[in-house]
Chain A
Amino acid sequence: MKTKRVWTGLLTFLFFISFILAGLIIPAESPAQAGDPVAVKIQIPFSKGGKQGLAIAGSEISAYIMVENQTDEEQNVDMEISLPKEFKPVDLSSSWKMTQTGDSYILTTACTLAVKYENWFDLIPVRISSDIPAGEYRVAAKVKSNGKEQKLELPVKLATRREAADFVKISEILLPTDEYGKVDPRYQRNTLALKSSSSSNYYKRVITGAGTESTAAEHPIAHMAVKVANKNAEAASLLITAQLLNPETKKPVAGFRPPNAENLSKDEQDRIYAMVKVPGKSETLIPLPIYGEEGTIPTGKFTLRTTVKLLGSDAVLQVKDLPVQVVARDFLPAVITVSAFVLIAGTFGIINFRKQAFFDRFKTRWLIVIALFGTATFVTVNIPGTILWDLSHAIFGPFSFLITGLFNEIILYMLLVSLVLLIPQPGTVLLATVMRMLLSGVILGHFSPVTIMFYSTSGILLEVMLFIFGITRSSWVSRKLSQAGRADIWPAALVISLGCGLADAASAFVNFQITIFLYRLYYADWYILTYVLIDGFLYTAIGTVFGVLLGRQLKKVAID
């Protein structure tokens, strides 16, 4: 009995063990675990990665479909794409056949991929209805290759334009910047400074041993940077467009265009583009090169319109306008400053070299009168000007010259011209100006290389004009001024007014260029013109007329 039980148990044990082991050990011919013969990629819109597509109501997007052979064998591929009825394909290429069911559009095509990595792809323009509810829609693909079928589905999130505009935001536009997006401190913000090429590059390369380079790849004329905030978790591929617009007409300014833009249609020109990928949940600084025709882009005030689109879609997510100033780098200030320096150095150098001959032409009492007039101009012009300058500037701003010019120009020239009528010698005005400069320096502390240049150019230019216009030499003007009756002096007075006006206008212009060059300041052309015409010419001319009248009166009582 016991033996029987043992034997039964053993058999049972063996029986079950056999089954168990049989199940484990007997191998099944496992089917070959081959990978998919073709890789299928769907992106909505094109370039959007991740597991979800994105579409914006009322826009046109590019749906991207690609199949790629993953084997060394030829693959005959049949594709069927199913789009929801709200996603209408437009302008389909002839390689697709389209049918419409109640709920969807079915697109079919076929291709042959002969070798590994050979691909077939298409960008299908799809118009999204504008009146459909936001939510998730599905795009499905069925791909058959050499008998094997793959099915894919891409959920596509549909957003309204308002929702889409929240995805990305332009938080800031920086201009000008360097190529990495760092603000360039050399220029005012929101200034587009046009660079011009120069042959200094050649010498720089020779010195650094970098070799020569002729017309290399297209280089931007400036850079800007756009800070874009992406609230989504996924990266966003964006198209950023910038245009310079006329602030009044809002029409694009010509010349603001990238290289080879002549190949684009007319309405695509005159704007610059950048395609960028902005990481998710981040604020990214995107440097943008600005290309343009330097000879064509005008200087002045414009509106820089920056537009953000989702790449692969025509929906505009955001538009931001920024007023900008376009300025051109100008070598004129440098040239004029250097020329002024040379003129001043030359003039005083010659005077120093021939100082004996220079001063021998002046009688002692003339020098005293000159010194007195110099002092008078200091007291009547410099002191009130210094006291009132800040006040007038605070009240009148940059147009304070209209008020202070009444002192600086009218009274100054009234005194200087009356002096030169008393002592019609070359050098008279220059000496008075030097006197005024010295007093200003000693008493008011206005003593710097720049102020020396201002006074000196003013004095030298006035001397030159007075000589040219015949006031400090023998001419009909000087004779009329000294001999004629009051009624007859007007022609001469007009001539001297013109001469002085031109001299002061010129010296005002030169002083502006010196300031621009040495202090890296910027003045609008119209401002300089206004200053030169009013403060430089008009007030001077008025002061000159008074000076002629005063001078003639003083002559009557002057000694000698």
Chain B
Amino acid sequence: MLKRKSISVVFVFFLLANLFFSFSLANPAQAAEVKVMVDGKTLSMDVKPVIEKGRTLVPLRTIFEALDVEVGWDEKTRTVTAVKGSTQIKLVIGNTTALKSGKSVKLDVPAKILNGRTLVPVRFVSEALGAKVDWNGSAHTVTITRSGGSSVGFKLSKEIKLEDVDPGPITKTTMLARGEVKFSPNSKYAVVGSEKGYIRVIDMASDEVIFTKDMGIGSITALAFSVDGKRLYVGEQSPDGYLYCFEIPSGKELWKFRTADELGNELKTESYPAVKRILEDNKGRLYFVAYRSYKHSSTNYDYWTRVYSLNGSTGKVNWKFPEKELMDVGSYWIDITPDGKSVAFSTGTFGNKTYKYPSGAIYFLNGDNGEKKWSYTFKALPQMAARFWYSPSLSPNGKYLSALMSDGRGFLFNDKGKVLWTKAISTPRKVSGVWIYGSANDTYIHNNQVIFSIGNTYTCVSGQVAPAEHPNSCCVFAYDLKGNILWKWKSDGYPRRPGISADGRYVAIPVMNNVNTHDLEAHGVCVIDNNIEGGIDKKVFYVYKSKTKGPMVSADISPNGKYIVALETVVRLSDGASVAGEYKVHILKR
């Protein structure tokens, strides 16, 4: 009997002991090391995080520095105070009641001091400051992501309402009121060119418009600052087709160049010259392409085009290409290397007429004298004409050139004109006898990455909207120089040409309307931080959405990475009556 009792007791004892030890070991995080990551970066801590009652505590200074927070310590009251923007949190060592912006919050575990370091509960602190916290039990990792909201990253500083414009249909991007924004190289100013021909220069210190200029009947087609930030170049489409140079910040007109002198104009047919894409090299030389077109019919267009290099200070012509005649094809884009030694531009036409100069060609010129080094003519896919929109792009050293054809094929060339590789990114597919494609728009070479940006889905004929999206529409692709894909970002809207900070770290992508889904939530500005490790979802660390939900037609980030300016437009929704958005400029700062 006693033996049986003893056995029972021992048995129960072992069961309970097993329970106890199992329970103790049940939290694997205590045995294994806990890792803490903020925006993809693992934090290095001199005191290891601990877990108490299922809550992870981390060293105060490490976490607050990672979250970019001001920290204060009151020795008398043993109180930690952290401030970020308008949010303030207070933790008292050993007290399970914390304050968040004056309101009491109950904690599961209080802050404590361990080995001379103050440890704070990481979930409460991070979430109170607007970050997202995930716990991966199997990997013993706390992942903190700072994204969205205005309390971290960039904050809306000011909105500047522009003139009234007519809303365009949400099913079209080309019929929306457009414009462009650009920062000066010294980050001091931003210029906004609006649909109705107004130029506004904003002082980023005060967020005030320091001068406004009405460009008259011209539509603004190109904006650029000089490298020293002292001059502003404005290109227009008008009967004169001027390129203006204004002094900053006075707004005084220094000179102007009339492209209609060579390209001509026809008032009654509304055929006017346009200045496209102005660039200045670091020697103060200006480069731009100007063209004029006239449509006889959908298959018959006339063009008059030339590439110019001017002296940025005086407006005097350095060279023209071609030297002796105009090209009879259109051109909408040009790029240069910062030293101006290499210039590249593309050609494109509508219609199927035979032209003297090839359509769908890339030209590579000597930037010093405008001589052609090489050219390459693309053969179009059968379904579409060969043309370029915002291509080509040169690498800063001039060794590489990327091009994205409107038919969805991306190319990388070397500086000798050899095609290094080709990618079929959003090439047309036939559905019920009709070809659909993802509109291939921008390419740029940035940080040794070749980026291609694809817009909305359209039918190859008439450019109508298709009810189903091409699988690669509204996406941004990045390849290395060898053609290996590095990342792909999917947007819900149409990603436009981004602004990139001078160090290449931040990329601000304005997102316009998705003509297929009409999703207003897709509109905004997405900011990528290339310093964040991990996949593209982690790199998109900030998304700005306007309260009025209009598409963002243009955005730029200051070279110092501290400011973003974005231009929102108005759009008429598919019911034909409702309108979303306002035509205004958003100034964001961090």
Flag if B196 contacts A209 (CB, 8 Å). Answer: yes
The proximity string for B residues 132-174 relative to A, scoring 1 for CB distances below 8 Å and 0 otherwise, is: 0000011000000000000000000000000000100100101
Residues of B within 8 A of A399 (CB): none
- Say yes or no: A211-B195 contact (C-beta < 8 A), given A72-B534, A116-B537, A289-B462: yes
Flag if A123 contacts B536 (CB, 8 Å). Answer: no
Query: A74 → chain B, closest Cβ, in Å?
Result: 10
Q: Which of B159-202 contact A (CB under 8 A)?
A: 166, 169, 172, 174-175, 195-197
Complex Cα spacing A18 to B16, Å = 6
Residues of A within 8 A of B576 (CB): 180
Flag if B270 contacts A213 (CB, 8 Å). Answer: yes
- Say yes or no: A259-B298 contact (C-beta < 8 A), given A116-B536, A237-B467: yes
Flag if A26 contacts B19 (CB, 8 Å). Answer: yes
Stretch at the interface among A307-315, A350-358, A520-528: A307-315
Beyond contacts A259-B461, A263-B384, A275-B465: 11 other A-B pairs, Cβ-Cβ < 8 A, are: A115-B487, A116-B535, A117-B490, A212-B218, A214-B293, A217-B172, A218-B463, A263-B352, A263-B460, A273-B461, A273-B464
B237 lies within 8 A of chain A by Cβ = yes
Q: Which of B1-42 contact A (CB under 8 A)?
A: 5, 8-9, 11-12, 15-16, 18-19, 22-23, 26, 28
B501 lies within 8 A of chain A by Cβ = no
A447 lies within 8 A of chain B by Cβ = no
Residues of B within 8 A of A291 (CB): 298, 462
Residues of A within 8 A of B486 (CB): 115
Q: Which of B445-503 contact A (CB under 8 A)?
A: 459-468, 471-472, 475, 484-490
Complex Cα spacing A213 to B295, Å = 13
Flag if A218 contacts B271 (CB, 8 Å). Answer: no
Complex Cα spacing A22 to B15, Å = 8
Flag if A276 contacts B467 (CB, 8 Å). Answer: yes
B420 lies within 8 A of chain A by Cβ = no
Residues of A within 8 A of B169 (CB): 179
Residue of A nearest to B487 (CB): A115
Residues of B within 8 A of A293 (CB): 297-298
Flag if A62 contacts B432 (CB, 8 Å). Answer: yes
Residues of A within 8 A of B578 (CB): none
Residues of B within 8 A of A313 (CB): 432
CB within 8 A of A212: which of B219, B430, B465, B487? B219
Complex Cα spacing A179 to B175, Å = 13
B112 lies within 8 A of chain A by Cβ = no
- Say yes or no: A295-B297 contact (C-beta < 8 A), given A202-B267, A215-B271, A263-B382: yes
The proximity string for B residues 376-415 relative to A, scoring 1 for CB distances below 8 Å and 0 otherwise, is: 0000001111000000000000000000000000000000
Complex Cα spacing A216 to B467, Å = 24
CB within 8 A of B174: which of A29, A30, A217? A217
Flag if B239 contacts A26 (CB, 8 Å). Answer: no
Name A residues whose Cβ lies closer than 8 Å to a Cβ of B: 7, 11, 14-15, 18-19, 21-22, 25-27, 29-30, 32, 46-47, 62, 66, 72, 114-119, 121, 123, 179-180, 197, 199, 201-202, 205-206, 209-218, 237-239, 257-264, 268, 272-277, 289, 291, 293, 295-296, 309-314
The proximity string for B residues 410-434 relative to A, scoring 1 for CB distances below 8 Å and 0 otherwise, is: 0000000000000000000111111
Residues of B within 8 A of A295 (CB): 297
Residues of B within 8 A of A260 (CB): 298, 350, 384-385, 460-463
CB within 8 A of A25: which of B19, B272, B430, B436? B19
Query: What are 7 A-B pairs at a CB distance below 8 A?
Result: A15-B11, A211-B195, A261-B298, A273-B434, A273-B459, A310-B432, A311-B467
Tally of B interface residues using CB under 8 Å = 83
Flag if A202 contacts B461 (CB, 8 Å). Answer: no
Flag if B462 contacts A199 (CB, 8 Å). Answer: no
Flag if A18 contacts B15 (CB, 8 Å). Answer: yes
Closest 5 CB pairs of A and B: A47-B468, A258-B462, A277-B467, A72-B535, A18-B15
Flag if B461 contacts A212 (CB, 8 Å). Answer: no
Query: B432 → chain A, closest Cβ, in Å?
Result: 5
Residues of A within 8 A of B536 (CB): 115-117
Query: B506 → chain A, closest Cβ, in Å?
Result: 21
B299 lies within 8 A of chain A by Cβ = yes
| Most B Cβ at <10 Å: residue of A66, A273, A275 | A275
Flag if A275 contacts B196 (CB, 8 Å). Answer: no
Flag if A19 contacts B462 (CB, 8 Å). Answer: no
Flag if B433 contacts A117 (CB, 8 Å). Answer: no
Q: Which of B214-236 contact A (CB under 8 A)?
A: 217-219
Flag if B352 contacts A275 (CB, 8 Å). Answer: no
Residues of A within 8 A of B490 (CB): 117
CB within 8 A of B464: which of A72, A206, A212, A289? A289
Flag if B298 contacts A214 (CB, 8 Å). Answer: no
Complex Cα spacing A274 to B488, Å = 30
Residues of A within 8 A of B489 (CB): 117
Residues of A within 8 A of B468 (CB): 46-47, 237, 275, 311
Flag if A22 contacts B19 (CB, 8 Å). Answer: yes
- Say yes or no: A275-B467 contact (C-beta < 8 A), given A179-B169, A215-B294, A295-B297: yes
Residues of A within 8 A of B267 (CB): 199, 202
Query: A158 → chain B, closest Cβ, in Å?
Result: 18
Flag if B431 contacts A262 (CB, 8 Å). Answer: no
Flag if B295 contacts A215 (CB, 8 Å). Answer: yes
Residue of A nearest to B139 (CB): A32
Complex Cα spacing A313 to B28, Å = 56
Flag if A46 contacts B431 (CB, 8 Å). Answer: yes
- Say yes or no: A114-B484 contact (C-beta < 8 A), given A21-B19, A214-B237: yes
